[in-house]
Amino acid sequence: MEGINADTKLESLTDAQRLELASKLQSESTSHQALISAVEPIEVLEKEYAANRAFLGKIKWLKEEAGFIGLRRAKGDGDCFYRAFAFAFIYKIMMMKDRPMHHFTVKHVESTLQLLKHAGFDEEVVTDFYEPLKNLLNRMYSTDPESQELNEHALLQAMNEPEQSNSIVVYLRLLTSAFLKLNADEYTPFLFSLDTSSDAGPPDMASFCANQVEAIGKEADHVQITALSRALKVSLDVAYLSPQQAPPQTPLDEEFPAEQLHQSTENSSDPTCRASASIPVPGNDAQRTRSAAEHPDRCDVVRFEVEGGQITEIGTMLLRPGHYDLLVEAPVPASPEPEIPAILSA
């Protein structure tokens, strides 16, 4: 781009320049990895970490205790969280088969344009990035005979089409940035953990958003995940597959029922599965350790929950160092057909 070089500060660019730069960088990618993959069996992780006993134990916990059967890989380009989030969000709404919820979702997503406008973004610029997301949502319950009804195959195809997929990623980044800027008083205290220079100190919200949120290829952390979840009124879980526990710096501090991790403990013959009533997540209680006797290989799972008026829970992401994928849970068994007793003759 004319006038932009390696020394150019992101803060000095206009919205249009920053987004054009982001699009250019994405288009220069030479990797042939799918942006979002089809579902792979969770056993592929066991092959990847065959030499790592600590990871194998956690993968076994994900499979046998938490009930996950597979994963969708997101391309490791620094945008994996936003791309995985987008797929999970759209997929969940599509699979709910709930017309009123779909209508509410479309209206709420449309309202986020005003949030971006209030945060100072150029309305014409952001609308261009919003259109692909809008179009996918509008392909559910469509009455247009020329519009293909959205299904899993069509969604996967759309999310692997670079122009559509990258536009949605950019829109989610801008939405995250707008929410953070409009709620700066609430979120700025959490930027202290990002202090990488003893001289400069932690970034202010404007710098953080310009360099860590809006910039393409910058991975998301707890602050961004919380902001985007709240902006779209959805809840999600993040499971940590790492030798260490999840980091303590998070805006969340809560416990949630184990069954929300898709654990089926009521019929389990293992008494250690029934012993745990809740799973601690990072926050003020981050220093508490899990009971090794009960769950020695459990993954830490951080829940990002929006209370009141939320649209839905969009699932669980798997976080390995610096990378997010989507975990796929086992389908809920269909309810058996009720048995109708025969009518006895008199």
- Cα 277 to Cα 274: distance, rounded to the nearest angstrom: 7
> pLDDT value at position 14?
72
pLDDT tops 80 at residue 296 = no
pLDDT tops 80 at residue 252 = no
Each domain of the chain, given as residue ranges in start order, spans 14-37+77-232, 46-72+236-332
Six-digit token string for 146: 């020329």
> pLDDT value at position 171?
98
DSSP 8-state class, residue 74: B
Query: For residue 192, which phi and psi values (nearest 5 degrees)?
Result: -60, -30
> pLDDT value at position 245?
58
Please tell me which residue, 244 or 80, carries the higher pLDDT value: 80
> pLDDT value at position 80?
97
- Overall pTM > 0.85: no
Model confidence pLDDT, tens digit, residues 266-295 = 333 333 333 333 344 444 443 333 432 366
- Cα 97 to Cα 143: distance, rounded to the nearest angstrom: 15
Model confidence pLDDT, tens digit, residues 93-131 = 999 888 998 999 999 999 999 999 999 999 999 999 999
Mean pLDDT score, 163-174: 98
Does an H or E element contain 41, and which?
strand 40-41
Mean pLDDT score, 130-151: 91
**14-37+77-232 topology per CATH:** 3 helical TM bundles of succinate and fumarate reductases (1.20.1300)
Does an H or E element contain 72, and which?
strand 68-72
Nearest Cα to Cα of residue 249 among 213, 209, 283? 283
Mean pLDDT score, 166-181: 98
Model confidence pLDDT, tens digit, residues 32-61 = 789 999 999 999 999 999 988 889 999 999
> pLDDT value at position 193?
67
97: region left, alpha or beta (phi > 0 left; psi from -120 to 50 alpha) = left
> pLDDT value at position 259?
32
> pLDDT value at position 312?
83
User: Alpha helices of 97-238 — where are they, by DSSP H?
Assistant: 99-118, 123-138, 152-159, 162-182, 184-187, 205-208, 222-232
Highest mean pLDDT among 1-15, 230-244, 280-294: 230-244
